[in-house]
Chains A and B, each alone.
Chain A
């Protein structure tokens, strides 16, 4: 049995990058402990998903398949995951800090009576096979180092887009095992009855490599068109400051910041955003930050990698044009 266990999120056989990042971190932790890594997938028809995980080098890939688990349900998945892990000698259980991971992990932790560190940006091994985690708190205004009690496995969810996706190993030798979890179906009470896909076809800010955000200076919702155009040209997502959302320029699911979404894309372009603490908390761990603002004194310039002081209504369309030209070449 493996010392480190990772939960690999999949929906309809699709494995997200965030899930692979967790596998790679699990591999690193297992190596540091001189132990082995087990990847667990839950659902139905998991062979394709398992094939995507295997190259990252887990020693075991365990598929917990059950018809009732074809759709994600937190109570069903909690039973399957905690039921399985409780019978192993796993010392650490890692999940992605996605909608699914953030829903499932606390329920599993409460059932196993073990500690959980949420939305971590770093994990490291300590002496005697202990783990330490670092997580942003106060929405990134501070970083907390988290230590665990002796209860095992210790649990952590890992923030997507922060960790490297992992390299395929030379000779993946992991063994795939299928198991049917025992479920008490009367305790799967909250059930999925439908999914309403976002019809806009827009990329979620949390999932994007590039985010282009507009602030209060956009002045109205029509003007957000130039933000959307730039985002589309870059293949990125549209974000917004709380001021823009509160003013009704754009829906709240675009909001980046303390009471919105926390993002860490490789490129964040802030247009007409002054950089209130609220907003900075949600995006300051982006790898590259570009600020476009007419006020050269705006706090956003203090954290920007590149800044242009000027009229965003001139600069943003110019930038879009230049990018489109570049892509056409």
Chain B
């Protein structure tokens, strides 16, 4: 089974956000970049499927500048077999559809059975790339999956919706997006880190993918951020003093009479 995992390098979730000089992007100063936590779950699932079947290959594909190669190596250290790094200045500023186009072109170069990726990229939080990738490759997809079973040439996935799980079956090849709860990603051991150094990483550019330059990057973007701002900070409110009984009494009064929420 050929498994493909799409991975994005994202700012660490614990990072404080500062606005860049252009007023419309993140100031990367002092921000640690990591493998998108949801993509890590997708990768873990791919590794488990390969282990369970006792055969197959896990390829990790990422789009982004050279510095993303560290994140790609950490995926190889977790156990992926090979990496594909899509690197081109023309890719910069791609929106979700542009990203999906680039990923689709790279993935379509070889036969595959299942594409896994996170349900969203932490940071931009668009939650669009998975379904768009499926649409461009004309594949079924199941989004926000917390349990996945591979049954021969099809899959059964449990997808999280409000207050329930949808059970969805689909033929392979397909796209599945991973939600927290699907698994607990493993840590790369020293052995994995050593082995990762010898694993192949293919670097591809726009020309290798045969995509028109005006369909990707800033030029091809259908949406773009024109401004990035810190949210209006909430002013801290009242600390209610006194014994617990008094404080609770006052709290209930305020919630009823001032805030009118109960």
Contacts and interface: CB of A to CB of B under 8 A. Distances in A.
A141 B17 contact: yes
A109 B126 contact: no
A99 B160 contact: yes
Max chain A C-beta neighbours (<10 A), residue from B95, B131, B158 = B131
A139 B128 contact: no
B174 interface: yes
B16 A277 contact: yes
Q: Classify the interface of chain A: helix, strand, loop or mixed.
A: mixed
Contacts of B256: 326
Contact of A315 (B131, B132, B247): B247
Contact of B234 (A106, A149, A204, A284): A284
A135 B11 CA distance: 18
Interface residues of A, number: 94
A303 B139 CA distance: 45
Contact of A194 (B13, B125, B167, B247): B167
Interface of A: 72, 74-75, 78, 98-100, 102-103, 105-107, 109-111, 113-119, 132, 135-149, 151, 187, 189-198, 202-204, 206-207, 210, 234, 251-253, 255, 258-260, 266-267, 276-278, 284-285, 287-290, 296, 301-311, 314-315, 318-319, 322-323, 326
A306 B162 contact: no
Interface of B: 11, 13-17, 19, 24, 26, 37-38, 95-97, 100, 122-132, 134-136, 138-144, 156, 158-171, 174, 180-181, 221-231, 233-234, 236-240, 244-245, 247-249, 251-252, 254-256, 259, 261-262
Nearest to B126: A118
29 contacts: A99-B161, A110-B132, A111-B135, A116-B126, A118-B125, A118-B126, A119-B127, A138-B17, A138-B122, A138-B125, A141-B17, A141-B230, A142-B228, A147-B223, A149-B222, A189-B140, A196-B158, A253-B160, A267-B255, A284-B231, A290-B251, A296-B239, A301-B236, A306-B237, A306-B240, A308-B239, A308-B244, A308-B248, A319-B252
Q: Classify the interface of chain B: helix, strand, loop or mixed.
A: mixed
B163 A260 contact: no
A198 B146 CA distance: 14
A303 to B, nearest CB: 4
B226 to A, nearest CB: 5
A322 B249 contact: yes
Contact of A149 (B156, B170, B223, B228): B223
A182 B119 CA distance: 30
A146 B164 contact: no
A307 B251 CA distance: 8
Nearest to B231: A143
A109 B132 contact: yes
Contact of A197 (B129, B164, B180, B221): B164
**10 closest A-B pairs (Cβ-Cβ)?**
A115-B222, A190-B140, A190-B170, A189-B140, A99-B161, A194-B167, A115-B223, A110-B135, A106-B128, A145-B227
